[in-house]
Amino acid sequence: MNYLKALGILRLVSEQKDEDACGWWKNDVFWLRSPVLFKEAATEEAKRDALVKFFLEEYKPTPIVAPWAGGSGFFRKDNKKAVEALGKSKTPRIRLYAKVIQSIQAIIEEEKIGDKPKKGDKTRLIRRYRRELPDDVIGWMDAAMVLWQDGQGFAPLLGTGGNDGRFDFSQNFMLRLVTLGIHNAGPDSRAARWLDNALFGDPIAGLTAAAVGQFAPGRAGGPNATQGMQGDATDNPWDFVLMIEGALLLGGAAVRRLGVGLDSKSAFPFTVRSSMAGFASSSDSDAATGRGEIWLPLWSRPARLAELRVLFGEGRAEVTGRQARDGVDFVRAVASLGVDRGVQQFIRLSFLKRSGKAFLAAPLGRVLVRQQESVDLLRQLDPWLDRFRRACADNNAPPRFKAALRNIEKAIFEFCRYGGPTFFQAIDVALGRAERELALSAGKVGKRTTSPIVGLSADWIAAANDNTTEFEIALALAGIYDGNGKIGWLRANLEPVVVWRGDNGGLAAKWAEKDRAVVWNSANLSANLAAVLRRRLVDGERNGCPNLPLAAHNFASLNTVSRFLAGELDERRIEDLLWGLMLLPQPPGILSRPADDANAPLPRAFALLKLLLLPQPLTVNGLSVTIKTESSIAALLTAGHVGEVCRIAMRRLRASGLSPLPHPRSGGVVRDADWQELEYLDNFGQRLAAALLLPLSCKSVGRLRDLVLREAATELHIT
C-alpha cells in the first residue's frame, strides 16, 4: 500500500501542480522534490505544510469508476451513496468526476441494463466506455485490465477488473472521498489529521472501520488481529485514496514489450505468474490459485513522472531475449541485468489466497539488482527445463516430478539472488535429483516427454566448484570413462541412458531399455561405488578391453582417498554431487585444486590393490607394465575377503615381473598368508572397493608404486 501511495503522491503533484517534481527512495522512505510546490518553503516543516495544503485544498480526484461490474454503485442493487454524492457535487475539484458519473448513468440507461451486467453486456460496456469516457478514466481502465479480441485480461494488482470478489475498489475509493468531505466545500480537521498520518506517519487515533482488500494484510482484521478472538478491519481513508491514485501508473495497455503467446499477467508492468520459489511458506496449490506476483522497483536517483511512465510503460524484465513469465524468470532477469538501469532493487509481492477465498498481497522479500557471475549459463538449461515443466503439468505426472521441479526452481532463484559457487552447485544437485527421478520411472509420463539432461557446458563445473573434498571426489568419479571406447561413461552405471554425439557436434541422449550396466540403487555410497567397480570390471573383461574401463579426466588426491577411507566425508553430499556432475562434459584438468599427498595415511591394502586397477600400464623404471587384474576383486572385497584379494594382488604383481615389498608382519620374508591373518573392521572391504574406483593421477600412482614395490628388476615380464 505505501509503495502505491508514494507513486500516487508523485503522480498527482506532477500532473496537477509541478511537472518538474521528482521522487526517489532512500532508506525505504520516499522523498519528493518540487520546485513549484516548495518554492516558498525554506524549511522541512514548511514543505510539509505545502504538501498537506495541496491535498486538502487543490487535489482533484481521478474519476475512478468500474461501471462494468456489480457492486460498483451504478446498478439497481448496489450501494449508491457515494456515486450519488459525487454525481451531485458542485465543487469545482469534483466537476470532472460528476460529469463522468452522469455520462456512465446515461450509457447504462441507453443499454437498458438494470442489474449487474452479464458477460456479454460487460464486454460491450467496457468497449463503449473506452470510446466515450475521458482519458482520465481510460488510464484507470488500463491499470485494471487489458483488452483482448475475445475478452479481457486482469491485473493481479487490481483483482479482476477493479474488484476483489465483492470488494469493489472504485466504490470504496468514492466512499473514502465522501468520508474525507472532498465532495463538499473542503475536508474537515479530522481529514487533515488523517492526511498527516498518511503522508508522514504521524501517530493518530480513530482510524475508520473499513475494509482495505488485499493491499494491507495487517489491517484486514479477522482472527488474531487484535486482543480477543477477532478484530475489525481499519483504514485511513487517505491511504486508500492515494494508493488507488498510484495504481494508475501501472497501466497494462502501455506495456510495449508484450510477447506473443504470453498470458494477461505479462501485459502489466513487472507482473508475472506466481512462482513458489524463493519463500518457505508456499504450498503446492499456491501456483495454481495465486493471481500472480508483482515486482515493484526501487530507485535512488530523483526521477520525474515522465521517466517513471517509461519505466512502468516498458516494464522491462527480459531473460534470454524474451519477457519474464514467472518469478523464476524475473529473478534471472534481475541477476543478468535484464531490467532497466537505475533500479537498485525490487520488492516482490504475490497475490495469494490466504483468508478463505480472499486474496492478500503477501510480501516475499527483496532482490538487489546486481549481475551474478555465471547466470548466463542457465540459458543452456532452458530447452530441457521447458520440457520438464510441461511434463510436470500433466495430471498423470508423479508428484515427485513436481517436487523435483520445485527444487530446481528454488535453487535457481536462490543463486540469482545471492550468487556464488555454493548456490550454483545447488542447481546442479537439483538437476541430478530430477534426473534420478526420471531414471526411476520407466514408462511414466514425465520420462516419455522429458529426455535425459544434455547440452550443458563444462563451464558449469567451474561455476559450481566450491573447492571442497566432496566436490573433488564427485567430479573425479563423474568423469570415469572407457579409454577403449567400448563401454559407456560412469553415467551409464547410474541410469539407463544412451549418450552420443549428434551431427551438429553436440551431445544427444535418450533413455535406454533395461540395461544390465545400471547397478546404482538406494544403498549407501560405498555399496554403490563397489557395485560400479564390479560391473565395469566384468564388462571390460566381457568386451575384451585391453585396458580397464576406469580412465578419467580429473583425479582425487591421496589425501582425499585417505579421508574417504576413514569415513570423514559427507557421503550423502558426494552422491548428490555425483548425480549432478555426471550430467556435465569434463575437459581434462578442470579441477584446479592442488593435490595434497605428502602425508596421506593410506592402508597398505589400498596401495597394493590400486596397482591392479589402473586404466593404463604401470610405469616402472621407464618401462610400461600391464598388470592383469581379476574381475572378481570387487565382489570379494564386498564380501569382506580383504586378505584373499591382497594375496591375489601379490601373485599378480610377481607374475608381471615386479617385486612387492613384504607385509610389515613378515619380518623381511614375503609371506602372502600374513595378509589373510589380519583383522579388518566391518564393511572395510566394501569401502576399500569403493575407494579403488577413485581415479588417481600418474603422480599419485607413482607414490603408491614406490610404497608397494621394491626396486624393479632389470628385466620385466609384461602380461
- Domain residue ranges of the chain, discontinuous segments joined by +: 2-57, 81-247, 376-457, 604-708
Closest CA to 562 of 512, 600, 521, 616: 600
What's the CA gap between 268 and 293, in Å, rounded? Answer: 11
Query: What percent of the chain is modeled with pLDDT above 70?
Result: 87
Whether the pLDDT of residue 508 is over 80: the answer is yes
What's the CA gap between 612 and 650, in Å, rounded? Answer: 10
* Contact between residue 634 and residue 612 where contact means Cβ atoms under 8 Å apart: no
User: What pLDDT is recorded for position 582?
Assistant: 96
What's the CA gap between 333 and 416, in Å, rounded? Answer: 9
What's the CA gap between 601 and 608, in Å, rounded? Answer: 14
C-alpha cell at 78: 448496489
Whether the pLDDT of residue 718 is over 50: the answer is no
Query: What percent of the chain is modeled with pLDDT above 90?
Result: 52
What's the CA gap between 412 and 414, in Å, rounded? Answer: 6
* Contact between residue 353 and residue 290 where contact means Cβ atoms under 8 Å apart: yes
pLDDT: is 331 or 508 the higher one? Answer: 331
Whether the pLDDT of residue 159 is over 90: the answer is no
- As a whole number, the mean pLDDT across the chain is 86
Q: Alpha-carbon dihedral of residues 339, 343, 344, 346, nearest 10 degrees? A: -70
Beta strands in 383-521 (DSSP E): 497-501, 507-511
User: What pLDDT is recorded for position 152?
Assistant: 72
pLDDT grade for 351, boundaries at 50, 70 and 90: confident
* Contact between residue 24 and residue 31 where contact means Cβ atoms under 8 Å apart: yes
Bridge partners, 339 (sequence order): 317
pLDDT: is 121 or 261 the higher one? Answer: 121
pLDDT grade for 713, boundaries at 50, 70 and 90: very low
* Contact between residue 573 and residue 641 where contact means Cβ atoms under 8 Å apart: no
What are the tens digits of pLDDT across the range 178-230?
999 998 877 778 899 999 999 999 988 877 777 777 776 655 555 555 555 55
State the DSSP code for 273.
Answer: B
C-alpha cell at 130: 473506452
What's the whole-number mean pLDDT along residues 578-592?
87
User: What pLDDT is recorded for position 224?
Assistant: 54
Residue with cell 502489466: 268
pLDDT grade for 711, boundaries at 50, 70 and 90: low
pLDDT grade for 9, boundaries at 50, 70 and 90: very high
Helix (H) or strand (E) holding 349: strand 343-355
SS3 content of the chain, % helix, strand, coil (to 5): 45, 15, 40
User: What pLDDT is recorded for position 716?
Assistant: 34
What are the tens digits of pLDDT across the range 234-279?
789 999 999 999 999 987 544 444 444 455 555 688 888 888 888 8
What is the distance, to the nearest Å, from the Cα of residue 640 to the centroid of all Cα atoms in its chain? 46
Residue with cell 538501469: 341
What are the tens digits of pLDDT across the range 437-486?
999 876 566 666 789 999 999 999 999 999 999 999 999 999 999 998 89
Q: Write the CA distances from 13 to 28, 242, 637, integer angstroms.
A: 20, 11, 82
What's the whole-number mean pLDDT along residues 33-58?
94
What's the CA gap between 573 and 542, in Å, rounded? Answer: 33
Helix boundaries (H) for 557-603 = 558-565, 571-581
Helix (H) or strand (E) holding 103: helix 95-111
Whether the pLDDT of residue 561 is over 50: the answer is yes
What are the tens digits of pLDDT across the range 640-670?
999 889 989 999 999 888 888 775 554 555 5
